[in-house]
């Protein structure tokens, strides 16, 4: 393993002698092996090592034990230790993020603080080759942009230096073997075994099959990642040149572009231009946005209709007004927040809470029934469909119930907080009747029967990774 890591570092020119390296250390096998490896090399290469451990305070007992373990590990080896405790739940509430996204933000905020404190040259993180495979496949399945296909970058600028990932050329099995050989006894995070998380399901079900087909698959995925990343750099530079010609206004938190100028761009450059605008506005808080989000903005700008609006995560609004399209963060008073959009079939609508997609199918074999999906007989529904916020008096005829029930009562039964009730999307048919409350309730109107031949399928996906 040591030789493979050395070659990877040399090929990518990741480290220079006599530099300061902050190492992110959770206490698990990957990060502990990375800390040990760099510490072992430090005397010969002149590295100054600082171990940075973050206690997310999400696991009451074990996270505190992880903190003590990493601190003791560093003390025994005379490694500088930076331990920080963060309030992930507070950040989650403040920014409306999922727990995972909030934890990531907290980690990188601390990493930046420590980098600045030591004027460090590098931040070293322990993502490995198996992580790369999982990330690329997960992004593809979720519907990623082109950038997501390149997976985890080997390097990127960060704080006072460069973020590096020296272990991307090796596998988890090699790291575990290294820990055994060096008699390291890492901490094990029990959440790594929970099927609650998508990555764990890929790790348990998909990765073993890929490794059985080719044990060196991580090498090919890494090579593909680097090739795509090289293409991305060139195409982004090309897009920026064209984008400058269509930007009418740019301030912190806002970009306005010319619709006519944008329409003259080639379609691939349009997609990249939208992605670059979103990256600029979101900065380090960039949420997961799928290809569907990019496509929705593209459709808004290219539409023959002179006006329209989309709501994206974290309060970003995208508003088309005649020949201008404005991307802007805004403070919205939820008490007065309402929306009403026509839902084309096929088509999709992005709301402040999440994305609703609609399509017709003639075969239900591949359609998964869940609270996130609504399926009915397409010929028993009145069109057009509308996606809007709740109005006084809204009721729904739920499956399995006699009569109807107030939508407000359903929110109460599911313990939906007040702020989310005001932005929760409802799907309304052409008779102004509620047919679906995503995640919370299906109407029994248009029930599928044996004689149904065409089906309406509606799907919902929360922005980010969840809503709890």
pLDDT digits (tens, 9 = 90+) for 152-196: 999 999 999 999 999 999 999 999 999 999 999 999 877 676 677
Q: CB neighbours of 400 closer than 8 A, spacing ≥ 6? A: 444
- Complete domains list, the chain, with CATH: 2-225 (3.40.50.620), 245-331 (3.30.465.60), 340-462 (3.50.40.10)
The tens digit of pLDDT for each residue in 238-257 reads: 999 999 999 998 888 899 99
Question: What is the mean predicted confidence (pLDDT) over 94-114?
Answer: 86
Highest mean pLDDT pick, 34-48, 209-223, 357-371, 410-424: 34-48
Give bridge partners of residue 462 from the DSSP assignment.
354
Query: Tell me, what's the pLDDT at 467?
Result: 41
Query: Tell me, what's the pLDDT at 126?
Result: 95
Query: Per-residue pLDDT for 289 more than 60?
Result: yes
Query: Tell me, what's the pLDDT at 60?
Result: 72
* Lowest mean pLDDT segment, chosen from 166-170, 225-229, 262-266: 225-229
Query: Tell me, what's the pLDDT at 332?
Result: 46
Query: Per-residue pLDDT for 333 more than 70?
Result: no
Query: Tell me, what's the pLDDT at 269?
Result: 93
pTM of the model as a whole: 0.63
Query: Tell me, what's the pLDDT at 331?
Result: 52
Query: Tell me, what's the pLDDT at 336?
Result: 52
Query: Tell me, what's the pLDDT at 154?
Result: 94
Query: How large is the angle between the packed helices 267-282 and 291-302, nearest 10 degrees?
Result: 110
Is residue 100 packed enough to be buried (19+ CB in 10 Å), middle (13-18) or exposed (0-12)? middle
Q: CB neighbours of 99 closer than 8 A, spacing ≥ 6? A: 58, 88, 89, 92, 466
Query: Per-residue pLDDT for 334 more than 50?
Result: no
Give bridge partners of residue 144 from the DSSP assignment.
none
SS3 content of the chain, % helix, strand, coil (to 5): 45, 25, 35
DSSP state of 367: P
Highest mean pLDDT pick, 14-28, 131-145, 412-426: 14-28
Give, for 434, the enclosing helix (H) or strand (E): strand 434-437
Query: Tell me, what's the pLDDT at 422?
Result: 85
Query: Per-residue pLDDT for 145 more than 70?
Result: no
Give, for 230, the enclosing helix (H) or strand (E): helix 217-244
Return mean pLDDT, the chain.
Answer: 88
State the residue for tokens 């500088």: 80
With H, G, I as helix, E, B as strand and everything else as coil, classify residue 387. Answer: strand
State the Cα angle at 452 between 448 and 453, rounded to 5°.
Answer: 135
Q: How far is 52 from 122, CA to CA, in rounded Å?
A: 12
Question: What is the mean predicted confidence (pLDDT) over 322-333?
Answer: 77
Question: Parallel, antiparallel, or unpaired for β 20-24 and 122-124?
Answer: parallel
Confidence of residue 293 (pLDDT cuts 50, 70, 90): confident
Query: Per-residue pLDDT for 465 more than 60?
Result: no
Query: Per-residue pLDDT for 142 more than 90?
Result: no
Confidence of residue 144 (pLDDT cuts 50, 70, 90): low
Q: What does the block give as tokens for 452?
A: 């149904």
Q: CB neighbours of 55 closer than 8 A, spacing ≥ 6? A: 63, 64, 66, 67, 83, 84, 85, 86
Query: Tell me, what's the pLDDT at 7?
Result: 93
Question: What is the mean predicted confidence (pLDDT) over 72-99?
Answer: 89
Question: Parallel, antiparallel, or unpaired for β 161-164 and 122-124?
Answer: parallel
Distances (CA, A) of 25 to 171, 313, 346, 467: 18, 30, 47, 29
State the residue for tokens 């938190």: 253
Q: CB neighbours of 445 closer than 8 A, spacing ≥ 6? A: 376, 380, 381, 397, 429, 433, 435
Query: Tell me, what's the pLDDT at 27?
Result: 93
Q: How far is 100 from 106, CA to CA, in rounded Å?
A: 10
Query: Tell me, what's the pLDDT at 335?
Result: 47
Query: Tell me, what's the pLDDT at 309?
Result: 84
Give, for 377, the enclosing helix (H) or strand (E): strand 373-377
Q: CB neighbours of 194 closer than 8 A, spacing ≥ 6? A: 200
Through-space distance between the first and last CA atoms of the chain, rounded to whole angstroms: 41
Query: Per-residue pLDDT for 468 more than 60?
Result: no
Q: How far is 169 from 1, CA to CA, in rounded Å?
A: 9
* Lowest mean pLDDT segment, chosen from 319-323, 337-341, 356-360: 337-341
Query: Per-residue pLDDT for 310 more than 60?
Result: yes
Query: Tell me, what's the pLDDT at 244?
Result: 92
CB 426 within 8 A of CB 394: yes
């Amino acid at each position: 393993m040591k030789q493979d890591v050395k070659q990877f570092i040399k090929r990518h020119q990741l480290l220079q002698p006599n530099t300061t390296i902050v190492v992110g250390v959770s206490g698990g096998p990957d990060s502990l092996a990375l800390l040990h490896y760099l510490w072992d090399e430090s005397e010969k290469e002149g590295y100054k090592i600082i171990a940075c451990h973050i206690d997310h305070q999400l696991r009451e007992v074990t996270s505190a034990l992880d903190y003590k373990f990493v601190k003791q590990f560093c003390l025994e080896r005379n490694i500088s230790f930076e331990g920080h405790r963060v309030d992930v739940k507070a950040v989650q509430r403040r920014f409306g993020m999922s727990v995972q996204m909030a934890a990531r933000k907290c980690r990188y905020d601390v990493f930046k603080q420590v980098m600045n404190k030591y004027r460090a040259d590098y931040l070293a993180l322990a993502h490995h080759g198996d992580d790369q495979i999982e990330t690329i496949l997960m992004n593809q399945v979720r519907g990623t942009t082109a950038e997501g296909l390149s997976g985890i970058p080997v390097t990127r600028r960060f704080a006072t230096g460069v973020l590096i990932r020296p272990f991307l050329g090796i596998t988890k099995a090699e790291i575990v073997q290294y820990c055994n050989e060096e008699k390291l006894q890492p901490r094990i995070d029990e959440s790594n075994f929970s099927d609650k998380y998508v990555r764990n399901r890929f790790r348990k079900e998909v990765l073993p099959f890929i490794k059985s087909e080719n044990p060196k698959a991580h090498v090919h995925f890494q090579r593909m990642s680097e090739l795509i990343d090289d293409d991305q750099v060139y195409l982004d530079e090309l897009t920026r040149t064209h984008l400058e010609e269509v930007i009418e206004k740019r301030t912190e938190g806002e970009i306005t572009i010319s619709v006519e100028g944008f329409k003259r761009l080639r379609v691939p450059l349009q997609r990249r231009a939208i992605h670059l605008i979103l990256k600029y506005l979101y900065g380090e808080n960039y949420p997961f946005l799928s290809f569907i989000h990019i496509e929705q903005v593209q459709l808004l700008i290219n539409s023959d209709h002179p006006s329209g609006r989309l709501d994206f995560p974290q309060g970003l609004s995208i508003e088309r007004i005649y020949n201008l399209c404005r991307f802007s963060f805004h403070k919205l008073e939820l008490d007065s927040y309402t929306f009403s959009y026509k839902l084309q079939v096929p088509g999709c609508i992005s709301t402040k809470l999440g994305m609703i997609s609609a399509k017709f199918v003639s075969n239900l074999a591949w359609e998964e029934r869940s609270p996130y999906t609504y399926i009915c007989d397409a010929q028993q529904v009145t069109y057009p469909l509308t996606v809007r916020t709740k109005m006084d008096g809204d009721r729904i005829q739920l499956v399995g119930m006699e009569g109807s029930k107030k939508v407000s009562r359903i929110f109460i039964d599911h313990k939906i907080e007040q702020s989310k009730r005001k932005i929760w999307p409802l799907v309304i048919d052409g008779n102004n009747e509620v047919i679906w409350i995503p995640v919370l309730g299906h109407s029994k109107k248009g029930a599928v029967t044996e004689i149904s031949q065409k089906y309406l399928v509606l799907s919902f996906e929360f922005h980010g990774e969840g809503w709890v």
